A and B are shown apart, each in its own frame.
Chain A
């Protein structure tokens, strides 16, 4: 872990993005909340600012929408942990979100990289 890095350059999460990140984090297999938090931290190299606690309301909302399911299990250290699994509906939702995100980011990138304003009408 990078420790207490300078966070002035981190960006806030867009609305709804956290939910998509959670779905993505579960796409390789079940994880508990703490695991999800670590995964987000690692893959974004601390670029995204997540208050870890806010994961849980998001997770439970996803569960209410039946995009994820959860089970209590016992960890290697004999601790009860709650594991979240992507449901079939969650997988479909993730696919839809990814394709939406692709279109969105391509469009924004295109706009931001435009050289000169197009001719005024």
Chain B
């Protein structure tokens, strides 16, 4: 037996054939032995097989063992190659610290920005909701004349009874309570909810047990985790104890978990930080009146103060349920003409919570993706430039036997190592940036949740860095490994052709960067101009030196109803006497950021329109002096007066919009209108200027003002016009209120300017971010263009030297360089403008006072980018002049 032969370690080929051979050999040898011992051939064969066992099964086992081992070995081999390449790449990067720093920083900015924005998206759109099977929860709304409306209790009851798509249905109304005892009195945002509320949500408490459908103690209260921590110090013995809300005892039955949130939802906007307290509503599983919690409104069909949340039955899709709601809603309306032709519709919980922020978030995601693309183009250019310098090295390795694939893999590994380093630095940036984002984001953007860098965000960062590594590594890897393929160790034709190819790739990168920068800049300019328009809008009132706060009267109902009017008058009088106060007034809802009450009305002398299609107006209740304090001009007639009492004739003040809508071209003063829900007529005594009640971005609408002395509410918002800085006299205001009623908490104490700023916070947030990223993009593009032009000039030094030696003027050489840059810039700008035009259509709905196709924005951007591109070329072009012809040519 010779022992020479091919070794079987290393890559095993055709293991199956080997196994067959080996086993056949065994059987043969055994058979031969047995024959030698005297067995007849047939018996020998049978005995050998019997002793061996099942040939097929053993062959199978052996093959699978060999295959597995082969796979393992391949993996180990690739890992070893990768480790070698990575170590080699790291050594190379350490040798070029300047290159490495620029590349890593560029990538860190791109990946960091993406990761930070992704962490917002993650919270808003991807994270599971803190409810059992939360994606089966929907909101149910009235659909009325194209608008989405709150539900009235009677109508909600009918919708709940007559639909079959839902396994649970709960109503919610928002109110606030004064919590007394346990320290200073405090207004707490609360919800009065159906007893089925927690069952429908499938939310588990931290402590105790919340109330359940049909089994709610009317005096029960459930606390949020935040309220429990803040007011009760996280006392675990709180369950079963009594707290005092609006002067009435309530028993705490449960504390919710910290991640439980239930934002306040309005029909118009999205979600904002929610209530901190839940109490069960009245009978029939329907909340009592939100405004007046003691009045059972079950019989009321259309007093629209309810939000409804419902759970889809298993197997029912939102579309099916929506179709049923529309049909049932319309049928109910045909049986109840007073429902005014309303239908019903649903929105999934994600649409409701995050729908309004989805678009801005996707715009931001698009913006940071473009930033990352620029960063990648930059690094690709840097690698290309570096690779050009390493061409000899690569050619040498090729000559020593490395395959083209092996070289390409090594270059890609280098890019991957670089992008992992960029991702690591980017994560640090993202960690910092997402904290800043969470602090700066408006409350209705992502609620008041923290932005965790959870596993999903980390996976995103990792994935992004791998994709980036491949994206910017692919160009140089293909390019340079091909150059190396031509195998020239000498400086010759191969070098020239390689240079030409690298130059082409570089030109494409420069043009692409310019195009991307144009897209981002156009977006930035549009957002900034839109935001400037918003800040310059005249909202119709003087917001300077105006302090606002709200008060809510509590206590025994019969007693305080009689007292309300006197109390507000007394408070207004007392506030007027505070030094530094110029004027005082109060309204039931404040413009800009306050609540929004609406009413339908009928002008006298006009034929009554069909039920449900009456004209609508904003509804306010104001005290005498309110208009003056707010700086809303009185255009005709008079202000409301203290003498407009319940005993006197009902009066209203209207704004110019309503005057125009109801009595076009006529004097409205002295005419009458009535609210559709009333039978009594009210006389118009005055006309005031229009204001933008809902904020700068919403046009003024018809408004009607009723005197507080004729229709009082248990809560009012006060406005105090001051001589100087309003916050400076806030303490005196507090004292004045406390003198009148020490148990009365002041809510929402802030200036009208702050209200205005808050209403602008979302557009400001967006325009700041988009502009910031736009600036970052331009800076990155500037660096990239500079680096690539510098490289281009350095490669053509010899050519320039010849030109200069032959007598070319310096300016001509410089013009040559600039012309080349200008051509690239022109191509990039042209492509960018076309792309920006398409992108602007997407953001059109988010702009105010400017068209997304605004030509000046595009022209401004084109000029700016051209200037930046030329500036980036200027220094390299100057350097082209300074070549020493003699030295270079020698």
B219 within 8 A of A: no
Establish whether residues B22 and A52, one from each chain, have CB atoms under 8 Å apart when the complex forms: no
Assembled-state Cα–Cα distance A4/B19 (Å): 28
Establish whether residues B37 and A76, one from each chain, have CB atoms under 8 Å apart when the complex forms: no
Closest to B60 in A: A57
A26 within 8 A of B: no
Q: How far is the CB of A51 from chain B (nearest CB, A)?
A: 4
The listed residue (B2, B5, B37, B54) touching A1 by CB distance below 8 A is: B37
Contact with A along B11-52 (1 / 0, CB 8 A): 000000011011101101110010001000000000000011
Establish whether residues A81 and B7, one from each chain, have CB atoms under 8 Å apart when the complex forms: no
Assembled-state Cα–Cα distance A80/B28 (Å): 12
B62 within 8 A of A: yes
A101 within 8 A of B: no
B335 within 8 A of A: no
Contact with A along B54-76 (1 / 0, CB 8 A): 11011001100110110010000
**CB-CB under 8 A for A64 and B52, given A71-B3, A83-B3:** no
Establish whether residues A83 and B1, one from each chain, have CB atoms under 8 Å apart when the complex forms: yes
22-66 of chain A: CB within 8 A of chain B: 30, 32-34, 37-38, 51-54, 56-57, 60-61, 63-64, 66
Closest to B58 in A: A53
Q: How far is the CB of B7 from chain A (nearest CB, A)?
A: 6
Chain A residues in 8 Å Cβ range of B66? 60, 64
Establish whether residues B8 and A56, one from each chain, have CB atoms under 8 Å apart when the complex forms: no
Query: In the complex, which range does the number of interface residues on chain A fall in?
Result: 20 to 34
Chain A residues in 8 Å Cβ range of B68? 64
B6 within 8 A of A: yes
Chain A residues in 8 Å Cβ range of B51? 51-52
B91 within 8 A of A: no
The listed residue (A34, A66, A70) touching B29 by CB distance below 8 A is: A34
Assembled-state Cα–Cα distance A83/B23 (Å): 13
> Number of contacting residues on B, CB 8 A?
35
Closest to B59 in A: A56
B53 within 8 A of A: yes
B890 within 8 A of A: no
B161 within 8 A of A: no
Establish whether residues A81 and B1, one from each chain, have CB atoms under 8 Å apart when the complex forms: yes
Establish whether residues B8 and A34, one from each chain, have CB atoms under 8 Å apart when the complex forms: no
The listed residue (B25, B52, B61, B69) touching A52 by CB distance below 8 A is: B52
645-679 of chain B: CB within 8 A of chain A: none
Establish whether residues B65 and A60, one from each chain, have CB atoms under 8 Å apart when the complex forms: yes
**CB-CB under 8 A for A57 and B65, given A52-B26, A73-B5:** yes
Most buried by B among A56, A61, A81: A56
Establish whether residues A79 and B25, one from each chain, have CB atoms under 8 Å apart when the complex forms: yes
B9 within 8 A of A: yes
The listed residue (B30, B53, B55, B61) touching A34 by CB distance below 8 A is: B30
Establish whether residues B37 and A72, one from each chain, have CB atoms under 8 Å apart when the complex forms: no
A74 within 8 A of B: yes
Chain A residues in 8 Å Cβ range of B26? 32-34, 37, 52, 56
**CB-CB under 8 A for A60 and B53, given A34-B30, A72-B5:** no
Establish whether residues B7 and A69, one from each chain, have CB atoms under 8 Å apart when the complex forms: yes
Establish whether residues B3 and A64, one from each chain, have CB atoms under 8 Å apart when the complex forms: no
B4 within 8 A of A: yes
**CB-CB under 8 A for A81 and B25, given A63-B69, A64-B68, A70-B8:** yes
Q: How far is the CB of B714 from chain A (nearest CB, A)?
A: 82
Chain A residues in 8 Å Cβ range of B37? 1
Closest to B70 in A: A64
Establish whether residues A51 and B52, one from each chain, have CB atoms under 8 Å apart when the complex forms: yes
Assembled-state Cα–Cα distance A60/B15 (Å): 11
Establish whether residues A56 and B58, one from each chain, have CB atoms under 8 Å apart when the complex forms: yes
The listed residue (A38, A54, A64, A71) touching B69 by CB distance below 8 A is: A64
Q: How far is the CB of A38 from chain B (nearest CB, A)?
A: 8
Chain B residues in 8 Å Cβ range of A1? 37
Chain A residues in 8 Å Cβ range of B53? 51-54
Establish whether residues A33 and B65, one from each chain, have CB atoms under 8 Å apart when the complex forms: no
Q: How far is the CB of A1 from chain B (nearest CB, A)?
A: 6
A75 within 8 A of B: yes
Chain A residues in 8 Å Cβ range of B22? 33, 56, 82
Establish whether residues B25 and A56, one from each chain, have CB atoms under 8 Å apart when the complex forms: no
Chain B residues in 8 Å Cβ range of A81? 1, 25
Chain B residues in 8 Å Cβ range of A53? 23, 52-55, 57-58
Q: How far is the CB of A94 from chain B (nearest CB, A)?
A: 19
Q: How far is the CB of A65 from chain B (nearest CB, A)?
A: 9
Chain B residues in 8 Å Cβ range of A71? 3, 5-8
Establish whether residues B1 and A75, one from each chain, have CB atoms under 8 Å apart when the complex forms: yes
Q: How far is the CB of B45 from chain A (nearest CB, A)?
A: 14
**CB-CB under 8 A for A64 and B65, given A33-B26, A82-B18, A82-B22:** yes
Establish whether residues B1 and A64, one from each chain, have CB atoms under 8 Å apart when the complex forms: no
Chain B residues in 8 Å Cβ range of A72? 5-6, 8, 18
Closest to B7 in A: A71
Chain A residues in 8 Å Cβ range of B30? 34, 37, 52
Closest to A81 in B: B25
The listed residue (A34, A69, A70, A73) touching B1 by CB distance below 8 A is: A73
Assembled-state Cα–Cα distance A74/B69 (Å): 25
Chain B residues in 8 Å Cβ range of A64? 65-66, 68-69, 72
Chain B residues in 8 Å Cβ range of A54? 53, 58
Chain A residues in 8 Å Cβ range of B69? 60, 63-64
Contact with B along A75-94 (1 / 0, CB 8 A): 11001111100000000000
* Selected A-B contacts with CB under 8 Å, 9 pairs: A51-B52, A52-B52, A54-B53, A57-B62, A60-B66, A64-B68, A69-B8, A79-B28, A82-B25
The 6 closest A-B pairs by CB, nearest first: A64-B69, A53-B53, A53-B58, A51-B53, A57-B61, A73-B5
Extra contacts, 15 of them, besides A51-B52, A52-B51, A69-B8 (Cβ < 8 A), are A37-B26, A53-B23, A56-B19, A56-B22, A56-B62, A57-B62, A60-B69, A63-B69, A64-B69, A66-B9, A72-B5, A73-B1, A79-B25, A81-B1, A81-B25
